[in-house]
Each structure stands twice: as structure tokens, then as C-alpha cells.
């Protein structure tokens, strides 16, 4: 049911050229810095402050990636307030704040559908961001983009020759589905970054299984429709009905409050979410494809910051 959706995953290796200070959760630094520099590099109509009013918006790489618009001829999702952006930045999963000259650090970049063809824009933007510097105000430091590896650990970029190798890095669901296997009556998920899921207009603290499935269906179907040009053909009603039969067996989820300052909105934003592990009990066969793909798409709100990252706990 998900054969039409494809993606790519890359690991960017960076090296600090100067001492720099980063927040505990680094998603805001990478995503915010990327957006600011990307707009500067792409914009040819700098007199227009509002991208959505620009006459060139339908041909602009920045608008497609960062200000994704509802297509005028769209027959679906007309009630969506925001179209999901076709990328996710996964920051380093550690609490380190200080990096010193010569230190290596990294992040992952996931691209979905048509955005895979925009990889060179991301490379050039993150390279330029390194020349400008990242980190806390007053303690920004420069870095060098040293290497980039794809999902198969093939090197596609090296700073020494600045050549981007033309290697097919697309990951199809057919390839991912080769990892599908029968699982026991219990399923455990580990939420690695703050996860923000809204249900009936409230943020969820301990998600029932059907709430996870509703959120995955919403995100994956939108990514497929807007960025892969395919409508997700599944029986939403039956899947949700079956998901409501699955029960929570055990949970050690906790709430993590995270705050960032938005330079565009000139205000602090609270983006807290739940972290930890939760175990469900029931029949998971109908949901395995969605759950597997969700490890890459992330789940919930603010995924471009790297929020909503989870892993299926695979028994050894």
C-alpha cells in the first residue's frame, strides 16, 4: 500500500573550525540555520518580504522545501493548515553542548519524494552555513562540511574535491519492506526525541495505539500525495477501527519541555513532547508497514526539527 513512497537518508559529517556552543537539543540550530541561509541563497526577489506573495513562488526551491504550498489544483487535503515539508533533520542524539576546534559531529538528513532531487541545495546551504557559523548568539562557531554518506554508507561528498557523486540513494518502500517480519503479540516503541501529537485539539501525553496510527496515516498520506504525486490507497476506517482494539500494556513515557526562539515570529515557542518507551498488546500485522515507514518519516508535529523520532524495539 506504500509502494509509491520513496525517500533518501544521508549523514552529514561536520568538523568544528572554531569553538562553538550548541543547545542540548540541536534540532533548532540546524533547521533554523538552514532555513535562513537557504532563503538568502535562493531568493532573486529580495524586495518581496513575504514569500507567499512573490510572483516566483511556484518556481522557487526555497518555497517548495521550506514554505510548502497547497497546489492550486489539489483535490485532497484542502482543510490542511500546513503542508508537511519534504525533509527531516535529525540532530545528534546527545546532550553535549560545547564543541572545540577539530571536533567532529554529525546530523542526518531525510528527504521525501521529489525533494530527493534537491540534495545539492541542501549540501550547498549547509556548506555555506558552516562558513557563517552556528550556535548560541555571541558564541557562534564555524564548521567545515567534511563528508556525506548515504543510507548504504557510500560516500557521496568529500570536502577535499567538493564533488557530489551521482549515486542513486533512493530508498523505496519495497526495499524497506524486506525487513518486515512476524512479531509477537507485544510491540514496544522507543521515542527518542520529543513527540508532539495532537488528538481532539489536545497534546497527547500517553498515546493510545489508534492515536499513533491516525497520526501516521495523516503524515504519510500527505507526504505521499504532495511529494510523491500518489494518493495513499488504504482503508483508513478499517485500520483505525482495528487500531482501537490494541491496548497499552506498559509505559514509561515522560514529558520533556523544549523551548526555542523563532527569529521569524520574534517569539519563544514551546515545543515539548513525550519521550521514552511504551509497549502495546494486540494484533500488529495490519500496521507494520506504517510503523516501519514512520521510523523514517517521524510522527506528529514539528518533524523538520527532528521531533517525533521513534524506533521499533526489535527483540534480539
Q: Where are the domains of the chain?
A: 6-171, 173-312
CATH dotted code for 173-312: 3.30.70.1900
- The position carrying cell 534537491 is 118
| Cell numbers at 68, concatenated | 510548502
Residues 6+ apart with CB under 8 A from 269: 259, 260, 261, 262
Residues 6+ apart with CB under 8 A from 101: 16, 17, 18, 19
- Amino acid 232: pLDDT: 86
Tell me the C-alpha distance between 143 and 105, whole Å: 10
- Amino acid 1: pLDDT: 59
Tell me the C-alpha distance between 154 and 289, whole Å: 26
- The position carrying cell 500518489 is 230
- Amino acid 100: pLDDT: 93
Candidates 192, 240, 246; CA nearest to 214 is 240
- Amino acid 316: pLDDT: 55
* pLDDT tens-digit profile, the chain (316 residues): 566 789 999 999 999 999 998 988 899 899 999 999 999 999 888 888 888 888 888 889 999 999 888 776 666 666 666 789 999 999 988 889 899 999 999 999 999 999 999 999 999 999 999 999 998 777 789 999 999 999 999 999 999 988 898 888 888 877 777 666 656 788 999 999 999 999 998 999 999 999 999 999 999 999 999 999 888 888 999 999 999 999 999 999 999 987 766 655 556 667 889 999 999 999 998 898 899 999 999 999 999 999 999 999 876 5
- Amino acid 16: pLDDT: 95
* Concatenated DSSP letters of 248-273: EEEE--EEE--EEEETTTTEEEE--E
In the chain, the largest separation of any two C-alpha atoms, in whole Å, equals 59
Whether the model clears a pTM of 0.85, i.e. scores above it, the answer is yes
Tell me the C-alpha distance between 151 and 96, whole Å: 25
- Amino acid 73: pLDDT: 67
- Amino acid 79: pLDDT: 66
- Amino acid 44: pLDDT: 87
Residues 6+ apart with CB under 8 A from 105: 14, 15, 16, 92, 96, 99, 143
Amino acid at each position: 500500500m506504500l509502494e509509491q513512497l520513496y525517500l533518501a537518508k544521508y549523514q552529514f559529517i561536520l568538523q568544528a573550525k572554531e569553538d562553538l556552543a550548541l543547545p542540548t537539543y540541536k534540532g533548532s540550530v540546524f533547521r533554523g540555520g538552514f532555513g535562513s541561509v537557504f532563503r538568502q541563497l535562493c531568493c532573486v526577489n529580495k524586495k518581496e518580504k513575504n514569500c507567499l506573495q512573490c510572483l516566483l513562488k511556484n518556481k522557487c526551491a526555497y518555497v517548495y522545501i521550506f514554505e510548502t504550498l497547497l497546489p492550486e489544483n489539489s483535490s485532497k487535503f484542502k482543510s490542511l493548515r500546513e503542508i508537511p515539508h519534504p525533509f527531516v533533520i535529525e540532530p545528534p542524539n546527545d546532550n553535549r553542548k560545547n564543541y572545540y576546534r577539530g571536533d567532529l559531529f554529525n546530523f542526518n538528513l531525510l528527504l521525501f519524494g521529489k525533494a530527493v532531487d534537491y540534495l545539492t541545495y541542501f549540501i550547498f546551504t549547509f556548506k555555506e552555513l558552516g562558513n557563517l557559523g552556528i550556535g548560541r548568539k555571541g558564541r557562534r562557531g564555524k564548521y567545515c562540511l567534511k563528508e556525506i554518506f548515504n543510507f548504504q554508507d557510500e560516500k557521496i561528498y568529500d570536502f577535499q574535491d567538493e564533488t557530489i557523486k551521482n549515486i542513486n540513494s533512493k530508498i523505496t518502500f519495497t526495499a524497506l519492506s524486506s525487513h518486515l517480519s512476524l512479531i509477537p503479540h507485544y510491540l514496544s516503541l522507543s521515542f527518542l526525541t520529543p513527540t508532539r501529537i495532537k488528538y481532539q485539539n489536545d497534546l497527547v501525553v500517553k498515546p493510545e495505539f489508534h492515536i499513533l496510527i491516525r497520526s501516521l496515516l495523516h503524515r504519510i498520506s500527505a507526504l505521499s500525495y504532495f511529494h510523491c504525486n500518489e494518493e495513499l490507497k488504504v482503508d483508513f476506517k478499517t485500520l483505525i477501527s482495528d487500531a482501537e482494539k490494541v491496548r497499552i500494556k506498559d509505559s514509561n513515557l515522560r514529558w520533556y519541555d523544549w523551548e526555542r526562539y523563532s527569529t521569524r515570529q520574534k517569539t519563544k515557542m514551546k515545543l515539548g513532547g513525550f519521550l521514552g518507551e511504551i509497549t502495546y498488546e494486540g494484533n500488529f500485522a495490519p500496521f507494520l508497514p506504517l510503523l516501519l515507514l514512520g521510523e523514517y518519516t517521524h510522527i506528529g508535529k514539528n518533524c523538520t526539527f527532528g521531533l517525533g523520532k521513534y524506533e521499533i524495539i526489535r527483540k534480539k
